[in-house]
Amino acid sequence: MKSSSPLKWFATREGLYYVALAVLLVVLLPLALDPFRLNMVGKYLTYAFVAIGLVMCWGKAGILSLGQGVFFGLGGYCMAMFLKLEASTPEATAIQSTPGIPDFMDWNQLTELPWFWEPFHSFSFTLLAVIGVPVLLAFVIGFAMFTRRVGGVYFAIITQAIAAILTILIIGQQGYTGGVNGITDLQTLNGWDIRTDEARTILYFVCVGMLFLCLFVARLVQNRKLGRILVAMNAQENRVRFSGYDVAAFKIFVFCLAAAFAGVGGAMFTLIVGFMSPSFIGIVASIEMVIFCALGGRLSILGAVYGALLVNAAKSGFSESFPELWPFAMGALFIGVVLAFPNGLAGLYQTYVMPLEDKIFKRNKGAQLEAKPAEKAAEPKPTAEKTSDYDPMIDSYSPEKS
């Protein structure tokens, strides 16, 4: 199972799972869906970024954040501010009493652009801010909490409170933030109209690309020693501490990583949906994000992607026919997941589908080994080749790995 060349990796079981997801997102869905539906899928995928972050932060490291909407929102608002400034040229806003500033500022009697809006004229600053602002806030929260050893339920409650505070702040400061309506009427990105079907399809593919980038970053982290320390910290925090690790630093890191993913997701959301508002970032939205992660499987980054897709698709389906039933359905779903299959879809897959795959895989493997007996003899410790070697969840030890 050595991944000596990157191409070979795609033929491993784990590689095939990624290929399958790529085929689904890049080939099947675009072929099967009209631009409107594809755009919806793109919107669901932006939540997958958050869910991947939650897998790392909650599933692996055991830090439950009920405020991921905050980071999603910050990323989204950064992008929305840039787009709004681009849409608010003096020509386009000539009828305002102060032309050249966003319309909602004019309605709220602001006569000049607030200082913190100024840098968002720059696209490169915006791209930095999409990741930088959420990470900075996560760092401040993480530093304040984790160095004081605040954790568990207390941490979850604090993150939830922060989600509430941010929503109230945005709604209250209407002149600076667009208030409860959010930042709307976004039109072009560097002159490129993002509202056409064609642009939306391109944005969908950009979103898929970014998603895979995040998946690979998450995979890198989880497969390195860093990932094992996160898992170890979850179960035996003191043992990690007394093995010479600064536990707080690792917690801050993973919380910032999750915030960065969420920020990217939020920015993609703004681009794909065309506006950003406080309703996407508050308490309810943040808890929904945890449900995406829980349903998909909180230990599996791929599971999180499917979780985000399925729950959001179900939500749209339900809301179209029985809008008032959705909250109940979602509540039932969450209780069901917690009671019946705590490791989510990924857990079910591992229990029921993987054994079937094992049979097929082993047969192929056996055939391969017969075909190359010389290679087998050359291996120093064939005993290390166990079924667990194929398990993408476990980066198992084998002495010949380097």
Partner 1 sequence: MSAAKSKSGDFLLAVEGLTVSFDGFKAVDDLSFYLDPKEIRVIIGPNGAGKTTVLDLICGKTKATSGSIKFDGKELTKLKEHQIVHSGVGRKFQTPSVFEDLTVFENLEVSYPKGHSVMGALGFKRDAEVIKAVEEVAETIFLTEALNEPAASLSHGQKQWLEIGMLLIQKPDLLMLDEPVAGMSVTERKKTAELLRVITRDHTVLVIEHDMQFVGDIADRVTVMHQGKVLSEGSIEHVKSDPKVIEVYLGH
Residue numbers at the binding site for partner 1 (CB under 8 A)? 220-221, 224-226, 228-229, 231-232, 234-236, 238-247, 249-250, 253, 384, 386, 388, 394, 396-397, 399, 401-402
- Strand 192-193 and strand 188-189: pairing? antiparallel
CB-nearer residue toward partner 1: 84 or 251: 251
Name the minimum Å distance from CB 399 to partner 1: 6
Name the minimum Å distance from CB 273 to partner 1: 34
- In whole angstroms, give the CA distance from residue 147 to residue 150: 8
Name the minimum Å distance from CB 350 to partner 1: 14
Neighbours of 84 (CB within 10 A): 26
CB-CB contact of 103 with 93 (8 Å): yes
CB-nearer residue toward partner 1: 239 or 363: 239
Name the minimum Å distance from CB 142 to partner 1: 12
CB-CB contact of 188 with 86 (8 Å): yes
CB-nearer residue toward partner 1: 40 or 135: 135
Name the minimum Å distance from CB 229 to partner 1: 6
Name the minimum Å distance from CB 237 to partner 1: 10
Handedness of CA 261, 267, 273, 279 (dihedral sign): positive
Kindly write down the DSSP assignment for every residue of 70-128, as one continuous string.
Answer: HHHHHHHHHHHHHHHHHH--TTTTTTSSSTTS-HHHHHTT--S--GGGGGGG-HHHHHH
Closest CA to 272 of 85, 97, 38: 38
Beta bridge partners of 183: 276
CB-nearer residue toward partner 1: 157 or 231: 231
